[in-house]
């Protein structure tokens, strides 16, 4: 039991549970959704965004926190970096060790490329590992990629790039088969048929899951496959890329690397560079808590932007509607959408079902924010919130369903004395996904030659809102596509001896001309949760050989 004033609030939910279980809230109309988003979604708060003064997206808006990083001082001093002292040479340099990075490395190695994978933490320390609910694919008789396309394109407010959405949904069935063949333990029926469920905004049951450890299971498998290819893939961990290197033709030709443990600078030269650095939740836009892993600080966007790559929908973030709001120890931790797909409903302080639980994520997040702002939220000393009535799940599917289907959720709460089989949980939106990123085409090319981007660091796949299960799909589909493309490209490219950081120098001149002030340094690399500790920042700008 909660053992405090929240017990009384939870009793209201329990008293109305049987009634609410039978009640089906109508889906909102398009007009109602638009009105809700306009009034309550964080992306619509004008004062939380600013206009970019420099770079490829000059004149466009971006979140204040991201704009500061995109326009900040570079971490390195170009004239102090010896680009003639090469530490690593490879055909393909992959920056990032999550689902997209490992998928890219695997596919490039299959094409015969010598791959260098650098990651600022360890392989698998990524948002892919944090994903819980599942991965979409239209591979059942009553479904089709065309139907998946309509759901994904519409769910993204028709803002996705059609060729990217097309690639996402059409590659999905073969990606599920690839993962299954690699050893991912998907949930299956006794006859081997994969279990599929609904997610928010899906018109068919196409969510493939591994209980509620889906991302961890997929990442485990991709990590193992990466290490199994040690003869072709060299992994360098605890090493962050801090700047793209170009050649005399303006093409991407490597990266400046920083060992985050020692502060040492290293130079990597490559024929093709793949950025797969993931998301930005640890930027804590607008002060929101986040479900993201520790390294999600938008580094890829910063490096690509400074190198001249255009961004798309950099002003669009996804706030997952159900982040844990109590107790303090798990504030912002993801409560997977699978909880709602199994039947748990969102309930306000009056015990009312105020919205359909499987509206799209931006709509449900806005609905929760509305309930709290208008006084219908559940007040508590951590984060005012609404209830997610988890006991409904076993009333619908029978005793044992929670331990069988969402054990991670049960384990996350029970350690704090909250049994989600018997008690509802408190939820509030958490910063979850970077909808926008570096603009790519269907083979992951940016407008900078030989620079590819895949996964959450890219923009355009999901438009301005992402459906559940399309992120794990995105990182594997486009990680593979980037690796396949790099595997073709490297055979026709020679390693360049004419390396430079002229674009960094030009960027600094542009900053000065625009009158950009402040001591911010980017890329951010890691968030800092202490006050007044500048030691890490002081070491890196002057780091040298």
Q: Which of 353, 504, 308, 309 is nearest to 13 (CA)?
A: 353
How many other CB atoms sit within 10 Å of the CB of residue 543? Answer: 19
Angle 438-440-441 (CA atoms, 0-180°, nearest 5)?
170
Distance CA 207, CA 199 (A): 7
Helices (runs of H) and strands (runs of E) counted in the chain: 17, 22
Distance CA 412, CA 409 (A): 5
Strands (E), 316-424: 317-324, 346-347, 386-388
The token pair at 204 is 């068919």
Contact 255, 300 (CB under 8 A): no
- Three-state SS string over 61-83 comes to EEEHHHHHHHCCEECCCHHHCCC
Catalytic residues, which ones? 320, 340
Buried-state track 390-411, b at ≥16 Cβ within 10 A, e below 16? bbbbbeeeeeebbeebbebbbe
Using left for φ > 0, alpha for ψ between -120 and 50, and beta otherwise, residue 96 falls in left
Contact 56, 311 (CB under 8 A): yes
Distances (CA, A) of 252 to 299, 384, 407: 16, 47, 44
Residue with tokens 């001249």: 308
């Amino acid at each position: 039991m909660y053992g405090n004033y929240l017990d009384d609030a939870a009793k209201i939910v329990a008293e109305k549970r049987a009634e609410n279980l039978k009640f089906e809230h109508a889906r909102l109309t398009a007009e109602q959704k638009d009105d809700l988003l306009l009034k309550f979604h964080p992306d619509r708060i004008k004062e939380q965004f600013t206009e970019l003064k420099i770079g490829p997206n000059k004149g466009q808006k971006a979140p204040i926190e991201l704009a500061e990083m995109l326009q900040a001082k570079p971490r390195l001093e170009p004239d102090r970096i010896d680009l003639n002292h090469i530490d690593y040479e490879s055909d393909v340099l992959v920056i990032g060790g999550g689902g997209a990075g490992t998928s890219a490395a695997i596919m490039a190695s299959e094409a015969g490329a010598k791959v260098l994978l650098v990651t600022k933490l360890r392989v698998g320390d990524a948002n892919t590992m944090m994903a819980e609910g599942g991965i979409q694919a239209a591979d059942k008789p009553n479904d089709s990629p065309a139907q998946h396309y309509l759901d994904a394109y519409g769910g993204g407010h028709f803002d996705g790039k059609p060729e990217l959405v097309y690639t996402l949904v059409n590659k999905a069935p073969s990606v599920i088969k690839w993962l299954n063949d690699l050893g991912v333990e998907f949930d299956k029926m006794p006859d081997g048929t994969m279990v599929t469920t609904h997610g928010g905004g899906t018109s068919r049951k196409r969510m493939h899951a591994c209980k509620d450890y889906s991302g961890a299971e997929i990442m485990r498998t991709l990590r193992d496959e990466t290490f199994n290819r040690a003869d072709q893939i060299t992994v360098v961990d605890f090493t962050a890329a801090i700047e793209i290197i170009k050649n005399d033709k303006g093409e991407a030709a490597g990266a400046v690397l920083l060992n985050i443990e020692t502060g040492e600078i290293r130079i990597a030269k490559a024929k093709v560079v793949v950025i797969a650095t993931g998301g930005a939740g640890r930027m804590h836009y607008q002060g929101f808590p986040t479900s993201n892993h520790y390294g999600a600080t938008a580094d890829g966007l910063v490096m690509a932007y400074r190198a001249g790559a255009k961004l798309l929908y950099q002003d669009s973030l996804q706030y997952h509607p159900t982040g844990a709001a109590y107790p303090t120890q798990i504030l912002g931790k993801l409560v997977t959408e699978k909880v709602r797909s199994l039947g748990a409903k969102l309930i306000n302080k009056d015990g009312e079902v105020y919205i359909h639980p499987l509206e799209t994520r931006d709509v449900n997040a806005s609905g929760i924010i509305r309930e709290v702002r208008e006084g219908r939220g559940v007040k508590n000393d951590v984060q005012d919130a609404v209830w997610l009535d988890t006991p409904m799940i076993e009333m619908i599917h029978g005793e044992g369903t929670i331990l069988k289907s969402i054990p991670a959720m049960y384990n996350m709460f029970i350690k704090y004395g909250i049994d989600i089989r018997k008690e509802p949980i408190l939820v509030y939106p958490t910063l979850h996904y970077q909808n926008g990123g570096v603009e790519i085409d269907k083979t992951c090319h940016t407008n900078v030659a030989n620079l590819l981007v895949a996964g959450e660091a890219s923009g355009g796949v999901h438009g301005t809102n992402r459906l559940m299960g399309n992120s794990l799909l995105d990182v594997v589909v486009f990680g593979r596509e980037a690796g396949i493309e790099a595997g073709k490209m490297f055979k026709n490219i020679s390693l360049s001896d004419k390396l430079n950081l002229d674009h960094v120098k030009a960027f600094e001149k542009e900053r000065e001309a625009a009158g950009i002030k402040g001591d911010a340094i980017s890329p951010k690399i890691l968030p800092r949760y202490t006050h007044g500790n500048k030691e890490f920042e002081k070491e890196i700008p002057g780091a040298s050989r």
